[in-house]
Structure 1
């Protein structure tokens, strides 16, 4: 079992321990008291999923996004001292008073984009030029919308105009069934998308839009660089990181958790060394940053196991039976009675999920 550095997010399994004194070194997106601050920090300061693009994209005009080092440090200092009341609302807050025009999308990916827009507009030294720019082209049938540029900003050091396409994704690694052979693949918990498909769409369809004449006309100047701003979490069977991730381009410090069957998780969660932990179910709106939960919102492993068993056996709701559930292991916050902080996170999958995931991962 691989053990993570204490200043990163997760031990690999529910049994991994947070070293003594580690809370003082926790990143802002895990330690801040306000979820507004944590979510904004996660979207701007957490490690990327990829250290390099796979070899198949070497011929493409694409690269991975990076904040300029000086501006990133200045932004971190700004955010650490910002009044949370002045920061963008969380999805949970937004859902309480949705905009009747529909402009406030409550999808997790759109929310992450919205937070990055805010950051580039407020980070010292950064210059946000445009966001969510639709690219349209006239053809014989009228006006066709080709896509949308997520973010356009000016690099303060180089004076270049940069196009960022952002995605916040959550994938579970499985062995794909592919022509009788097994290969590793990352699939979404609902089996709709895959990491390879998402990269292909960004690199070959979205990034080229920044180099079109239509984009130059809208921005008012050529775009010098188009980059992928990809964040998220990857989840591995029972928290075991397989060898060879670097060859897939996965960053060595990427955020990761575990996925398990209900029985395998319960066996680990109730082992003697883990009985001091408590647990909570993480709704999708809380998937981004580290969880911070009042004790009243926590559960014992046995109680949670019974609730999930009922869910996966629900005769009336197919989606409840088939959908994995993200849960979070919690430990007491040092010096804050009644507050519990995330120790690890992972998905509990229904009994037939792995077979369906392997088939989905192997499809063209």
Structure 2
């Protein structure tokens, strides 16, 4: 019961509070992976639970302080920890499944060997073990111009080239989802049996303008969210050929990588006025930088049109070598 990209935008846009929008995005965004090698988590067991959650989110949007107190912790400097806090709040206070425990450590001879993200019970009594992953990977082509060739998971790399989708996928399946089957977990006394499920959200970025010509890896979800990436030189050339571009460009800090943000008219006009300085700064980037483009709609409001990464000119060569190291 997740939403496609256009439906997701309309759903999230009904909420004004940034933190509520991020929670709604996590609950309704399409999964990065398709059902197959691992069972996928579904936040709602029925249409009634989905509808009740939307009503609950609307009420939370009107009075979001409890969510802020829970999730807006200065110690949450990692996006994954922030996302965990949002799902934990939903499971503890929302109208769907009931939270039993979160962040349950497993230890072997005083050494921590893993941590179960969420243990919960569904309305029908099923005991579920959810592992949460929120990932943002850039696709690097190694097909020698053959666009019809299907990508591999190893072609999806983290922007800083410290993570790769095939590596994360393997760890999720062989280690994290297996935690509730270990003897160390049985010793903790949580009555089972437990069904392990993967709660995986995020966005994949393709070279150019969305990668419609790329055949995704077989494991990738059919409706996964897409973005684009360009090198700094390609970005400069694209901007120089768009003299009438009235988009407002915003650099997205990591903690704003989930739901789209709202941009008021005054802020947008300021960004447009400063567009040359913003473009020059991005053209000189020394690290991959996520940006969002806002365009004026028919009503004169600025809405997020797309997201992408500007990467240094030498990044594709280094990314291709990182992807090839999987062979």
TM-score, normalised relative to structure 1: 0.77
Distance 2:259 2:296 in 1: 17
Instruction: Report SS of the residue matched to 2:128.
Output: strand
1:303 aligns with 2:303: no
CA-to-aligned-CA distance 1:197-228 (integer Å, 9 cap, x gap): 11111110111111123323425212421011
Unaligned 5+ residue runs, structure 1?
10-25, 96-103, 313-320
CA contact (8 A) 2:131 2:199 kept: yes
Distance 2:192 2:323 in 1: 38
Distance 2:230 2:59 in 1: 39
Q: Which residue is 2:11 aligned to?
A: 27
Identify the range of structure 1 (85-94 vs 169-178) with the bigger mean alpha-carbon deviation.
Answer: 85-94
Distance 2:281 2:70 in 1: 25
CA contact (8 A) 2:236 2:283 kept: no
Alignment of 1:79-228 (within 5 A): 79-82=57-60, 83-89=62-68, 93-95=72-74, 104-138=75-109, 143-157=110-124, 159-176=125-142, 184=152, 185-228=155-198
- Alpha-carbon shift at residue 279 of structure 1 (Å): 0.9
- Alpha-carbon shift at residue 230 of structure 1 (Å): 0.5
Q: Which residue is 2:222 aligned to?
A: 252
Unaligned 5+ residue runs, structure 2?
none
Distance 1:90 1:261 in 2: 39
CA-to-aligned-CA distance 1:51-101 (integer Å, 9 cap, x gap): 234xxx4xxxx3121121332332122102323433433999533xxxxxx
Distance 2:323 2:260 in 1: 28
CA contact (8 A) 1:266 1:302 kept: no
Distance 1:5 1:309 in 2: 29
Distance 1:344 1:215 in 2: 43
CA contact (8 A) 1:324 1:349 kept: yes
TM-score, normalised relative to structure 2: 0.85
**Larger relative contact order (CA 8 Å, sep ≥ 6):** 1
- Alpha-carbon shift at residue 31 of structure 1 (Å): 4.4
Instruction: Report SS of the residue matched to 1:248.
Output: coil
- 1:274/1:347 CA distance change after superposition, 3 Å: farther
Q: Which residue is 1:69 aligned to?
A: 46
Distance 2:239 2:292 in 1: 11
Instruction: Report SS of the residue matched to 1:199.
Output: helix
- 1:272/1:31 CA distance change after superposition, 3 Å: farther
Q: Which residue is 2:27 aligned to?
A: 44
RMSD: 2.8
CA contact (8 A) 1:34 1:84 kept: no
Distance 1:226 1:352 in 2: 40
Identify the range of structure 1 (282-291 vs 262-271) with the bigger mean alpha-carbon deviation.
Answer: 262-271
CA contact (8 A) 1:172 1:236 kept: yes
How many residues were matched structurally? 309
Distance 2:166 2:224 in 1: 17
- 1:91/1:162 CA distance change after superposition, 3 Å: closer
- 1:7/1:212 CA distance change after superposition, 3 Å: same
CA-to-aligned-CA distance 1:25-59 (integer Å, 9 cap, x gap): x122x442210111111121211111234xxx4xx
CA contact (8 A) 1:39 1:288 kept: yes
